[in-house]
Structure 1
Amino acid sequence: MGEIKADLYTTGEDGVFDLTILKGGADPTSLATAELSVMSAAELEQYAARTGKRYEALPSTAYTIDQPVVAFDGNTGYATRKVTLKTTVIQALLQDNPGKSFALPIVLVSQKDSVNAERNVVLLKPSVLVPILGYDESAKTLDVSAGKTEYELRLSLPFVSPWDFDATMEIDESAIPEGAVLIPTSEYEMSGEGKVTFKKGSRVSEPVKVVLKPSSDLLVGNRNVLPLRLTGTTIPGMKLPEKPFILTAEGYNQIPLTVDMLSTNAQEPSEGPIKDLIDGDPATYFHSAWSVGVSEPHYIEIALKEPIKRMAFKFQNRANANGKAQEIKVLGLTDSWEELETLTGGMPTGPGSIYSSKTIVSTKPFSKIRLVVMKTNGGTAPTFFNMAELYLYGK
């Protein structure tokens, strides 16, 4: 039979291999006896001269052969025997003799029955491997602008797993990339609480399902990440990846706002021009009319360059105490102006504070947006409000 590769693993267990012995001949009811024997040094030298392959025999401390004598009765045509290779002994042997090729040379012999001389030799050639556990893919970016999003994370081995085992994953906050923010626990669910299951006979783990449930915080242009690091397995001796798996959740694209896209029905003539909403300086601000009367609720209007169906927005308050929006009606221009959402609650009043809206969805694309302030911390519409910066996101 020749050389057979015998892979051992640094997991604290020995390698067990089954050898099958077949009984041949014209009479299937005949009796036969044979024995699995390890070649002597002279026999191994003769084998090397015959085949051109030279091996060093494993010492007797490196293996056992279960029931080496094989007796066939008239009802059996084959038998199996287990050969156990001692991983720890062989690992030390290979490390101490890096240039040598070791093998366990087993020959089938019989004192009274004939043995097929072309199929009576097996050389188990061991190698000790470190099981390297890895991610099926090293990173993944998900678009969460449409709302709830699912991802199935799998781990993989470079070989078919001979074990049932589990691995554990944990959030590694030290691995958050520069410029990214950690997805809060309220925004996702992960099956198995980070436990990953491998089943014997598979190269790939059972999936860990990550469900992202984005609120507005994931829809305002941040790079939101879950850095998941493998921290251990139920089988010792496995090598874990040095780098974590990075799951990135990208929300709506930021829509660049230009001055020509902005307008208002209530510009205060003495301060706060609307262009200051998008100048990137929170020290400047937009202020709606207080020195002149405007009979309808004050609003900011945005003319989009391309229609969208989903949006979120964020604003930063002016660094003072009054005129802070507390209720905003969001209108979208489709065939006509339609109310998309009325936002109440959660709008901060502190100087320089920031508000991020929820996702706002329309069944039809809209080309213009109005943010109509219905209430502030100082009164109800029509009344003035102010904002330092405004950001829009959408698809």
Structure 2
Amino acid sequence: MKKLIYSFLFLGAITALGGCKEDSYEDLIPEQYDKILYLKTYGQQTIELFDDGSQVDYSLTVVKTGSNPAATAQAQVKIMSQAEVDKDARYQGNNYKVLSSACYTYKSEPLELTSADAYKQVKMKLSPAKILEEIAETKDENPNYVYIIPFRLSSPNDQVNQDKKDLILKLNVTKLSIYFKKGSQMVNLNTVTGDEWAFEAGMAMVSGVQNTWNFTAQIEVDRSDEALNAYNTANGTAYLMTPEAAIVNINEGVFEAGNNEAAAAIRIRRAGLAKGYTYLVPLKLKPITEIETISVSEKLHYIILEYPLDPEADRIELTTESFFDVYGWHISNDYGNLIDNNNETHFETQYWAITGNTTYGTPLDVRIGKEVHSVMFEYITRGGGNTNPQDISLWASNDDEVTTNSESARWFKLGDVSGVPARYEAHKKYSSKVFVSSQPFKYIRIAVKTGNEPVDGTGTAGGCWGMAELKIWAN
């Protein structure tokens, strides 16, 4: 009997609801839900902050709804502690780190929502500088920390929507700074005209912020060994620092309010550079003195100045008179074979006598015809390749004595020659690196210690070396 009565009551309730089409939604909310409170922004929110030295305003909105919009309500928004966040199962495993009250200004006070209030805001001030400090102090504890300010809405008397009562505010703070737009630029000085050039280094404000300041950004050449070595090590190069004598002047970049980009410039003169080198100009940003809150990136901008020997202008016109033999170890009339553009002919040292010494082997000496500081050479191996030169070093001199005195000590070493073709590699072209010297020179010695066997005075009478063609560039 009771089941039957309950069924009739249930059907009556459905009939009553079905007949209320003109009633508002609020009228259908049970009386105990005449007012419901929730956060307009809830769940998670990430905001990007920039540390320009000022505080940032932030506000949350508490919304009142329900069946009786005219009802009053009380609410409070507090910031949860680290312990509360850690205890809440919903937030466990997220590496949340609650920022301390030093990072913001906020007072949790009761909110009174009157009959006229559909919502009410609570306000706070965030301090990006303090947030950055706290991150720096605690990041070593856990590099995966997610820094947050966790809000929770509550009410002593009124209903709170449980799905919309919390806000996890995630904070990403970027230091206001400027940086070089590009990491490097490369210029071949043989392709540019004139004796001086201006190279620009573009700079920009960190993305996401609009520049509202007028200030200048200065650059300077970082002449430290660390800057040069770090680049060469990272890139497998052996570039040289650009000499101070090559720097004419440096102009600062000017940032104007509303413009997030600027360019500084450095002027370089050809006269301070020597051909055959590749120079590095590591530029760094100097601290901004006008606005202390704008920092500068530590990343450098590299200008790479390639100054190779010119394949036409710097080629030495060799003749048979360019070569000389103070030891008498060469074969007469073979010099012409080195410059006849014929790979089927070749130059060769004597193979019927023991030649050479332990310092220079059996060398090929060449007159450059002018004072130079850099040199490179290219040769083609002879047919068969059985006497290809090995164990080669390059020497230089600026003293005429070396053309007549085999005992002269006026030679200085430019360096060892590496990567040459192996024995029996026929008609193989080899190009040396550019050898450079701070001392001028007008003679070079291609010192060869091994051919088909040692030619340094320790071999047999059958030892010799040879090549088909030779070219030299110098400046």
Q: TM-score, normalised by structure 1?
A: 0.47
Tell me which protein shows more strand as a share of its residues.
1
Q: TM-score, normalised by structure 2?
A: 0.41
Tell me which protein shows more helix as a share of its residues.
2
